[in-house]
């Protein structure tokens, strides 16, 4: 073999090596491009990192809450879900696009002492803007002392007020068979608590229902719990006292 042949052979070897390397790089490029088409986002990952986009928007601020602390009159006892005045209140607020959310913490059979015990945790959990207290009827049914019921109601109003919530107290009355004197004192209890605590008051939640001539046609067979048709009337009574608190 001549020196020129040897030189040509030696010069060809690097060219062939370079060709193989170029082909390998081309194949690798094609492989990555094809993968990028099959796997969305891979093309961006293999290229220069894009400029950072706008920061994620913060979570929508929770609506202020209206907390209802009541007994069976507010807990839809004997009704289909959504028929009680509290559920109707939530529907009205939504329909009127008012910036509030309703939280019903009512329990059938609850008393003022039960509500007083439960309220601190509810205030801590929900941090309500408004608290509606509808309790006391079961105290009367159980023959509990009015002084105890009054103190429990006052304590609940104070706790809610201390938590910077506005308060609406819903009063109740007892049937005549409890005695005229007890009936007057029981109804007056709510008025006195509201006056002392300087809070809004609806003196009688069942006004327009229990005091109508055909009242028995508006109650369930137990003659204690209103039928579904009575709850829009109850809501209207509550609404008249609640609406000013919503607009303040």
What is the reported pLDDT for 248? 83
Answer yes or no: 214 catalytic.
Answer: no
**Nearest CA-CA partner of 131 in 107, 154, 164:** 164
What's the residue count for the chain? 248
Which residue in 71, 72, 74, 231 is the catalytic one?
Answer: 72
pTM score above 0.85: no
| DSSP annotation string for 48-73 | PPPPP-PPPPPPPPPPPEEEEEE-TT
Chosen CATH of 65-247 out of 3.40.190.100, 2.60.40.1180, 3.40.50.1110, 1.20.210.10: 3.40.50.1110
* Residue that is written with structure tokens 């029981």 in the block: 186
Answer yes or no: 185 catalytic.
Answer: no
The structural domains of the chain, with segments of one domain joined by +, span: 3-46, 65-247
Answer yes or no: 29 catalytic.
Answer: no
Cβ neighbours for 46, distance < 8 A, ≥ 6 positions apart? 32, 36
Q: What is the pLDDT along the chain (248 residues), one digit of tens a residue?
A: 544 444 444 444 444 443 444 434 344 333 333 333 333 333 333 333 333 444 444 446 799 999 999 999 999 999 999 999 999 999 999 999 999 999 999 999 999 999 999 999 999 999 999 999 999 999 999 999 999 999 999 999 999 999 999 999 999 999 888 899 999 999 999 999 999 999 999 999 999 999 999 999 999 999 999 999 999 999 999 999 999 999 98
Which residue in 108, 113, 185, 225 is the catalytic one?
Answer: 225
């Amino acid at each position: 073999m001549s020196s020129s042949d040897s030189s040509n052979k030696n010069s060809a070897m690097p060219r062939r090596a370079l060709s193989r390397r170029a082909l390998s790089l081309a194949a690798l490029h094609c492989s990555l491009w094809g993968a990028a088409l099959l796997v969305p986002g891979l093309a961006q990952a293999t290229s220069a990192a894009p400029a950072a986009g706008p920061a994620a928007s913060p979570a929508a601020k929770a609506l202020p809450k209206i907390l209802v602390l009541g007994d069976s009159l507010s807990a839809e006892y004997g009704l289909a879900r959504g028929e009680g005045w509290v559920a109707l209140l939530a529907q009205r607020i939504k329909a009127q696009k008012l910036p509030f959310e309703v939280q019903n913490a009512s329990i059938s059979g609850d008393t003022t002492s039960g509500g007083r015990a439960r309220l601190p945790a509810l205030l801590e959990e929900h941090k309500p803007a408004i608290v509606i207290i509808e309790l006391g009827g079961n105290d009367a049914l159980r023959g509990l002392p009015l002084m105890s019921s009054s103190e429990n109601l006052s304590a609940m109003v104070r706790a809610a007020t201390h938590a910077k919530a506005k308060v609406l107290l819903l009063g109740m009355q007892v049937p005549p068979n409890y005695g005229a004197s007890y009936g007057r004192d029981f109804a007056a209890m709510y008025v006195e608590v509201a006056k002392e605590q300087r809070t809004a008051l609806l003196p009688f939640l069942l006004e327009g229902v229990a005091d109508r001539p055909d009242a028995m046609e508006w109650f369930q067979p137990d003659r204690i719990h209103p039928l579904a048709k009575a709850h829009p009337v109850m809501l209207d009574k509550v609404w008249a006292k609640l609406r000013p608190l919503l607009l303040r």
